[in-house]
Amino acid sequence: MTYEQVKSLKSEDFKRLCGVRPDTFNEMLEVVRSLHRTKQKTGRPGKLSLEDQLLMTLEYWREYRTYFH
């Protein structure tokens, strides 16, 4: 799922999917964007948007049980 598909979910469903509420996700995204602006750009550009990268990371951490255990 992409962020475009997920952003229209209800707050409870969004949290169930990635573990954080939409407003927390947006705050995290602003931090990632500010760090991305200052990063030196080398190599090939990424295929995923920052929103999709953050969403994929949160979904991975949510599903990867050994981080909890």
CA 8 from centroid of its chain's CA atoms: 15
User: What's residue 9's pLDDT?
Assistant: 92
pTM attached to this predicted model: 0.83
Mean pLDDT, the chain cut into blocks of 10 residues (69 residues total): 90 92 96 89 87 94 72
Tell me, what's the pLDDT at 68? 57
What is the Cα 39 distance to its own chain's centre?
A: 18
Q: What is the largest CA-CA distance in the chain?
A: 38
pLDDT for 62: 87
What DSSP string runs through the chain?
--HHHHTTS-HHHHHHHHSS-HHHHHHHHHHHHHHHHHS---SSPPSS-HHHHHHHHHHHHHH-GGGT-
